[in-house]
């Protein structure tokens, strides 16, 4: 039987254990109440500014005409070219690209500055041309484009009496391998001959869209390149029986998105076709070309708002995946309009209008209006010489935007109200315009005269010169 000393020692050890346990519970409770010291290690990063490179723009050159053998190409006259830089005294090198196969004419022109000569977006170019031949008539204008790896072009047709050419220019030093994919009103076009096209460095290549998508009423073209970047544009000419009925150079439209804005849509004569007549034929009425680029249908709301103010019109459309839709914009009064489209899926968009002389049933000219992307805080625009030139600015945001337009003849302050658009006349002789404080605005340039109609979107520069954030390991 244990003696009293053993019991005392055992009791003492038990008491020590109980006390230690109580202290542990107390410490844990305090830890739950008192915040533990925190330490967060932010990953090491470094902002790297790419080496300064040349700023490059490519002007498509004069309108072209295919020969009788479809292998030869000739230029229809010459263009009026205007260039602009900021600062204005920066040196610009103009280099004529090698003409396409089957042509001896000088066509596309590459504009380039020296590395570091200007900031991104501070080189601009524009061209204009008046056509008056037995096969082509009308006024065309285009902005000189930045070479890119992917471009979308909405416009043109290969129906009877209509010719549409795809112009590909490679101002770089290495060959560009280009894939051309066409969608039409019947869906994606199976055209293996449009894949793997090689555009040599410092050269232009011309592709007849009729060879890829014959008798397509509503083509939309996707151009992707590897190896080098290219500048892409479409040219369209129309002829009814023996009478030329318009021409246009069509630049790239904004890439696929759930919201698209088309600024400065010029309607010269009141009229049009009701929206519900979505199978209306012909190209003499204002219309909208849309393509849902995903795999599911897209439901979209279209608003057509006059620049002068007012409610405008709103209607809904359903876009089938991969299938191009040409939709009438309704009966519109003469004037300038902003077209906004909001959808539940991604799509591309462009609008088309035409002009005709009073009493004539056939159009005498037409224009395509691509969707544009939001501008940066500073944007330089080169406006070529042309009739009734206007700069259009649309503000899709919920707050007014105050911008400044700096032209050769002075500076003008302009306020673009929230959700509205304004326009300002440009000199008939053309020139340069620097838009400052215009971040978020969307812009275009239009031309309008008797038997004359043309337009191009003002697209911001790509992010090639933007700083890159890297995380060293």
Residues in the chain: 473
**Whether the predicted pLDDT of 203 surpasses 50:** yes
| Residue 91 pLDDT | 92
Residue 50 lies in a domain: no
In this structure, is residue 210 part of a structural domain? yes
Q: Is residue 174 scored above 70 in pLDDT?
A: yes
Q: Give the pLDDT band of residue 242 (cuts 50, 70, 90).
A: confident
Alpha carbon separation from 2 to 5, 9, 163 (Å, rounded): 8, 11, 115
| 251-255, 396-400, 405-409, 422-426: the lowest-pLDDT one | 405-409
Token digits for 410? 């002075």
Beta-carbon contacts of residue 194 (< 8 Å; ≥ 6 apart): 179, 180, 181, 182, 207, 212
Q: Is-contact 448 337, C-beta < 8 A? A: no
Pick left, alpha or beta for residue 237 (phi over 0 → left; psi -120 to 50 → alpha; otherwise beta).
beta
Residue 114 is assigned to a structural domain of this protein: yes
Using CA atoms, how far residue 380 sits from 85, 123, 250, 305, 389, in Å, is 7, 7, 20, 26, 16
Average pLDDT over residues 373-377: 95
- Condensed to tens digits (0 to 9), the pLDDT of residues 18-76 reads 444 444 444 444 444 445 555 555 566 565 555 556 899 999 999 999 887 667 889 99
Count CB neighbours of 325 within 10 A: 19
What percentage of the chain reaches a pLDDT higher than 90?
Answer: 69
Domain count, the chain: 1
The residues, any chain, with a CB within 8 Å of residue 468's CB and separated by 6 or more, are 47, 48, 49, 50
Q: How many CB atoms neighbour CB 190 within 10 A?
A: 9
**Domain limits for position 188:** 56-469
Q: Quick one: which of 350, 322, 351 has its CA closest to 183?
A: 322
**pLDDT tens digits, 433-456:** 999 999 999 999 999 999 999 999
In this predicted structure, what is the pLDDT of residue 106? Answer: 77
Of the candidates 370, 366, 341, which has an alpha carbon nearest to the alpha carbon of residue 354?
366
What is the spatial order of strands in the sheet that 80-85 belongs to? 80-85, 123-132, 137-143
On whether residue 44 sits in a domain, the answer given is no
C-alpha to C-alpha distances, 11 to 4, 385, 419, 426, nearest whole angstrom: 11, 107, 85, 102
pTM greater than 0.75: yes
Pairing of strands 421-425, 390-394: antiparallel
Quickly tell me which residue has 């039987």 as its tokens. 1
Q: What is the pLDDT of residue 162?
A: 92
Q: Return the higher-pLDDT residue of 353 and 5.
A: 353
pLDDT of 458 higher than 70 = yes
CA–CA separation, 76 vs 334, rounded Å?
Answer: 31
- Using the CB atoms, write b or e for 410-440: b if 16+ within 10 Å: eeeebebeebbbbbeebeeebbbbbbeebbe
pLDDT band at 258 (very low <50, low <70, confident <90, very high): very high
The pLDDT assigned to 9 comes to: 47
> Does a structural domain hold residue 194?
yes
In the block, tokens 């939309």 appear at 220
317, 291 contact by CB (below 8 A) = no
Closest CA to 155 of 462, 428, 393, 367: 367
Q: Is residue 7 in a domain? A: no
pLDDT in tens, 113-157: 888 788 878 999 999 999 999 889 999 999 999 999 999 999 999
What does the pLDDT read at residue 16? 42
Quick one: average pLDDT of 192-205?
96
- Is position 38 within any domain? no
Q: Rounded distance, CA 287 to CA 165, Å?
A: 21
Cβ-defined contacts of 86-94 (< 8 Å, 24+): 86/118, 86/119, 86/122, 86/378, 86/380, 86/434, 87/118, 88/432, 90/117, 90/118, 90/122, 90/123, 91/117, 92/123
pLDDT tens-digit profile of 398-416?
Answer: 999 999 999 988 899 999 9
Output the CA–CA distances (angstroms, integers) from residue 131 to 62, 103, 128, 205, 384, in the order listed: 10, 19, 10, 22, 15
Q: How far is CA 146 from CA 57, 119, 150, 151, 364, in A?
A: 5, 14, 11, 10, 31
Residue 19: inside a domain: no
pLDDT at 312 (0 to 100)? 86
Per-residue pLDDT reduced to its tens digit, 306-365: 999 887 899 999 999 999 999 999 999 999 999 999 999 999 999 999 998 766 666 789
Closest residue by Cα to residue 111 from 95, 97, 89: 95
- DSSP 8-state class, residue 41: -
Round to whole Å and give the CA distance between 100 and 203: 7
Mean pLDDT of the residues in the chain: 87
Whole-angstrom Cα distance, residue 385 to residue 80? 7
The confidence score (pLDDT) of residue 23 equals 42
Beta strands at 93-96 and 137-143: parallel, antiparallel or unpaired: unpaired
**What is the DSSP code string of 256-267?**
SEEEEEEEEEEE
């Amino acid at each position: 039987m244990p003696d009293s000393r053993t019991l005392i020692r055992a009791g003492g050890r038990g008491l020590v254990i109980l006390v230690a346990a109580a202290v542990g519970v107390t410490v844990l409770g305090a830890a739950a109440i008192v915040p533990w010291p925190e330490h967060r290690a932010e990953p090491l990063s470094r902002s790297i500014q790419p080496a300064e490179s040349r700023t490059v723009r490519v002007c498509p050159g004069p309108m072209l005409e295919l020969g009788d053998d479809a292998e030869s190409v000739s230029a229809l006259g010459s263009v009026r070219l205007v260039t602009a830089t900021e600062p204005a005294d920066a040196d610009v090198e103009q280099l004529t690209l090698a003409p396409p196969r089957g042509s001896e004419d000088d066509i596309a022109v590459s504009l380039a500055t020296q590395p570091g000569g200007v900031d991104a977006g501070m080189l601009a170019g524009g061209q204009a041309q008046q056509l008056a031949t037995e096969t082509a008539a009308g006024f065309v204008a285009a902005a000189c484009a930045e070479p890119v790896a992917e471009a979308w072009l909405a416009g043109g047709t290969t129906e009877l009496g209509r010719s549409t050419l795809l112009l590909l220019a490679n101002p770089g030093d290495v060959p560009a391998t280009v894939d051309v994919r066409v969608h039409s009103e019947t869906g994606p076009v199976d055209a293996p001959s449009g894949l793997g096209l090689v555009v040599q460095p410092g050269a232009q290549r011309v592709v007849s869209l009729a060879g890829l998508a014959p008798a397509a009423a509503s083509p939309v073209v996707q151009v992707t390149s590897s190896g080098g970047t290219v500048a892409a544009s479409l040219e369209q000419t129309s002829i009814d029986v023996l009478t030329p009925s318009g021409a246009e150079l069509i630049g790239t439209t904004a890439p696929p998105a759930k919201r698209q804005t088309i600024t400065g849509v010029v309607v010269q004569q009141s009229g049009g076709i009701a929206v519900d007549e979505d199978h209306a034929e012909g190209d003499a009425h204002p219309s909208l070309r849309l393509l849902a680029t995903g795999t599911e249908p897209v439901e979209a709301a279209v608003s057509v708002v006059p620049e002068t103010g007012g409610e405008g019109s709103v209607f809904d459309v359903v876009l089938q995946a991969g299938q191009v839709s040409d939709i009438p914009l309704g009966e519109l009064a003469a004037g300038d309009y902003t077209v906004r489209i909001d959808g539940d899926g991604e799509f591309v968009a462009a609008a088309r209008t035409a002009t005709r002389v009073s009493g004539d049933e056939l159009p005498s000219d037409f224009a395509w209006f691509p969707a544009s992307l939001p501008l940066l805080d500073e944007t330089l625009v080169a406006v070529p010489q042309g009739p009734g030139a206007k700069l259009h600015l649309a503000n899709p945001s919920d707050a007014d935007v105050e911008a400044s337009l700096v032209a050769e003849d002075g500076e003008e302050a302009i306020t673009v109200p929230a959700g509205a658009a304004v326009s300002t006349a440009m000199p008939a002789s053309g020139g340069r315009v620097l838009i400052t404080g215009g971040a978020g605005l969307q812009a275009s340039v239009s031309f309008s005269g008797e038997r004359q109609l043309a337009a191009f979107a003002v697209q911001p520069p790509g992010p090639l010169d933007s700083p890159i954030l890297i995380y060293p390991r």
